[in-house]
Structure 1
Amino acid sequence: MTILPSFPIASPKKLIYTHIARQGVTSKAELMPLSGMTSSSLTRLLEEMVADKLLITGYGPSSGGRRPILYEVNADYGYFFGLDISRRTSTLGFFDAKMNSKALLRWRMDEAMTPEALIDYVVLNIRSIMLDHHIQPHQVVGIGIGAVGPLDRKTGVIIEPSNFPARGWNQVPICKLLEERTGIASRLGNGADAALIGEHWSMRSENLQHMLYVHAGVGLRSAMMSGGHIVHGSVDMEGAVGQMIIQMDGPRLHDHGNYGAWEALASVQALEKRARAVAKTGRADIPGAGQVPPERLTYDVLLQGLHSGNAYAREIFTQSAVCFGIGLANLINVLHPESIVLGGPLINSHELYFQTAIDTAKRNIYYYPDYVPSFSKGKLQEDAVAVGSAMMVWSNMVV
């Protein structure tokens, strides 16, 4: 089993396999309109796929004649790892050919989690998972990686992402490093794309074609799908959306980037920066005031304050959510998706944040209420990048 390059031309076998995977269980009669084949040709193809162990068969209920043969994907045909590399937490998932989760491991990204430390940790756990499930390396089709950009998907290199807690996250040939240590082919994509691929798969029964995904965490990241396919630009800069200007005379997050940028008003960093500045004035009702120095006031302390009912924490989270909703409305007015999935630490911080953000976005959608896209946190949520990363490999698998 090998991995195809980007944008493969699907063979009839691949189309049939993908359709069966998405449907779950399918009969030959349901496959006929899709295949464009004669009945005898389709029968031969399905028999070949069963012989190759791509598919397994069963029988449906009789409607008066013979019971129809039903086809479904063989879950044990191949296995897939999905790796999510993010700034706050990272995740390693292990999946079968039906994208059933067999194992899932999540860990905190801290100052010690350099690229070398992460590779060691991931390789150790890949070996442990394979041992636990009695899987040999040749049974693993590949490792999909969804990472913070910018990155080079063709060469498998994480270029120079900002704001990682640990040092060394620049020009990291992540695919090469994993392949050398595991012997398993690896494929790199940006995390927002992977999350959208995963959520789209989890919602496949809804047949959604135009989707927008936005991740709100340390920074802001986005991905768009049109016609059921991820839309790529000429460069892989998923975080550039955070530089959208939503307030002309607004603050600047660091010594680079735009003044009044979206992420300067609605991100984990923006919350911390604002709270630290106010704490230095001596305001006493800020979460953690008097317990930690202002420069050590972290998002986790603010989040704890929000959940304990602290008025100041509620105020700054609400203001952040309003700013997030304004930027979100700008994207919606340009892209017009039918479904919007929101993820990341801020979206999942509290229902207040999610609801305030989408209420603000709705008020600023130009064609509202004639055009009302759906909003959700998705079905996979924290696991979306790991699932989508594995899906990147699954969808490019030669069958």
Structure 2
Amino acid sequence: MLKQFAESTAPKTKGLRTLYNLVRKLGPVRINTLTELTGYKHVTCTRLLDELVQEGLIYDSGIGASSGGRKPMMYVIKPDAFYLIGTEITSLYTTVLLLDLNLDIIASKKLKMAAHCTGEFTLNFVTQSVDELLASHNIQKDKLLGIGVGFIEPIDKERGVLLNPHLFPAGGWQDLNIIEYLQQKNTVSVFFDNGTNLAALAEYRKHYWKETDNLVFVSSDTEIRCGTISHGKLVNNNSGMDDAFGHTIIDMHGRRCLCGAYGCLQAYSSLPAIHDEVVRQIKRGRSSSISEIIKDAEEIDLHHVLSALEEKDPLCVEVTKDAAYYFGIGLSNLIYLLRPEIVICGGTLVPQSLFYEIAADTAQNRLKQFPNSHVQILKSTGAYNIVAQGAGCLVLDHFTEEK
């Protein structure tokens, strides 16, 4: 039945979809709450809920508190009614997650991107991972709703291709139709979106949609981006400005960015910017544990810097702290403009040494002139998996959300 939600416009199907979505959002939830929110008569609501129960999509959680008589039914969705595949593909790693309908991770596969990871090789890894994940958990293919894919790099959603895949360590991405390729290999629906949008969607759906309808997710990674939830909906645009946040100016006389402008946030707080500054300092004679492993500074890559950061290399930590300070300045500017209730910080750099703490403190200090703003700046709960979880959510939303 869940697959029919996206195909049928019949009033009954619409009612079933509406109730399923409310149970998904509010569960455990009583029938009285559902009748109040939908305006359905009690008998109509009961009949539709019973049908969802019979179809195995929802069930009574049994946790309702009794006031002396029979315990009220408290409905929740059945998370193993179907399954989702969520995938994130970046220049550093490809992540494939097997998810239930609560977006909880059942199992995962990960590929470290290297010179052999062409477009077709990577998509074949995704396909192989899907087969292995399903088989290892005895899940039939017809229980898979679809595959969601998130990219940090700019995308053309209409054509299903990457626009500028220059950051990948191998070729074969130019004009490769990712949606078409994966659909042919996996014979299921495939959906595709910007990774930061998907991270915002996953954080909202998993943790915050009972708390707020206005949320921003910011990511510091190979690029700096943001995704926005406004009035409970993911804000999408086709302007090709997915990385615009990274090109806000924090110092008009500062470093030159790859875009040609001076003082972009991207030139200070992205992973490539940290890498470039570390290399620059090593060339000037600063000591680093990286120099003991890589003798030629030109051969230092992003993985070397990340590994040194995890080992608390003093030079890498110092450079990252500076990057976090500038990120906090950019973050406060974004809050001034969008005025969200919650800001979630994610991306590769957030789990690193003090990056989140310094960025959040810097932003909050700049917001003190607005004491009534009460903006929460929080760390992403999903760390390195949140984009892939959002990609899975994209699949589920296709079948269940109002169009």
Deviations 1:137-195 (A, max 9, x none): 22211111111232122343333244122223332211110000010110111100111
Q: Tell me what 1:100 maps to.
A: 104
* 1:276–1:295 contact (8 Å) kept in structure 2: yes
Shift of 1:300: 4.0
Q: Tell me what 2:334 maps to.
A: 331
Shift of 1:336: 0.9
Matched residues in 2 for 1:205 and 1:231: separation?
15
Q: Tell me what 1:168 maps to.
A: 172
Moved over 6 A (4+): none
The equivalent position to 2:21 in structure 1, one of 15, 18, 21, is 18
Matched residues in 1 for 2:218 and 2:290: separation?
30
Matched residues in 1 for 2:333 and 2:225: separation?
14
Shift of 1:365: 2.9
Matched residues in 2 for 1:173 and 1:100: separation?
29
Deviations 1:215-273 (A, max 9, x none): 1111112111111111122324322321222111222243x442221111111111121
Q: Tell me what 2:122 maps to.
A: 118
SS in 2 for 1:166: coil
Q: Does 1:139 align with 2:137?
A: no
The equivalent position to 2:81 in structure 1, one of 77, 90, 94, is 77
SS in 1 for 2:122: helix
Shift of 1:2: 5.6
SS in 2 for 1:396: helix
Distance 1:249 1:72, change over 3 A: same
Q: Tell me what 2:67 maps to.
A: 63
> After the TM superposition, which of the residue ranges 369-378 and 306-315 deviates more from structure 2?
306-315
* 1:190–1:236 contact (8 Å) kept in structure 2: no
Matched residues in 1 for 2:310 and 2:71: separation?
57
Distance 1:162 1:365, change over 3 A: farther
SS in 2 for 1:203: helix
Distance 1:308 1:62, change over 3 A: closer
Q: Does 1:355 align with 2:392?
A: no
Q: Tell me what 1:397 maps to.
A: 399
Deviations 1:58-90 (A, max 9, x none): 544543333333322122322111111122122
Q: Tell me what 1:289 maps to.
A: 291
SS in 1 for 2:387: helix
**In structure 2, what residue type is equivalent to 1:364?**
R
Unaligned runs of 5+ in 2: none
**In structure 1, what residue type is equivalent to 2:370?**
Y
> After the TM superposition, which of the residue ranges 152-161 and 172-181 deviates more from structure 2?
152-161
TM-score by length of 2: 0.90
Matched residues in 2 for 1:340 and 1:251: separation?
27
**In structure 2, what residue type is equivalent to 1:388?**
G
Matched residues in 1 for 2:158 and 2:78: separation?
30
SS in 2 for 1:143: strand
**In structure 2, what residue type is equivalent to 1:186?**
V
Distance 1:346 1:101, change over 3 A: closer
* 2:290–2:304 contact (8 Å) kept in structure 1: yes
Matched residues in 2 for 1:82 and 1:15: separation?
24
**In structure 2, what residue type is equivalent to 1:189?**
D
| Percent of aligned positions that are identical | 26
Shift of 1:135: 2.2
Matched residues in 2 for 1:103 and 1:263: separation?
33
Q: Does 1:271 align with 2:274?
A: yes
TM-score by length of 1: 0.91
